[in-house]
Amino acid sequence: MSKERARRREVREAEAAVKAQARAEADARAADQRARKAARDARLRRLGLKSAGRPTGIIAERRRSRVRAIVGLLLFAQIVVWLVRPDWQARFGALVISAFVFLVASVFAL
Q: Give the pLDDT confidence of 58-109 residue by residue, as tens digits.
A: 888 888 899 999 999 999 999 999 999 999 999 999 999 999 999 998 888 7
**pLDDT confidence of residue 12:** 93
Note the pLDDT of residue 110. Answer: 61
Highest mean pLDDT among 47-51, 55-59, 83-87: 83-87
The pLDDT, as a whole number, for residue 68 is 92
| Separation CA 105–CA 27 (nearest Å) | 48
pTM to 2 decimals? 0.51
Mean pLDDT check: name the lowest of 7-16, 18-27, 51-60, 82-91: 51-60
Q: Rounded distance, CA 15 to CA 27, Å?
A: 18
Q: What do you get for the CA distance between the two ends of the chain, in Å?
A: 79
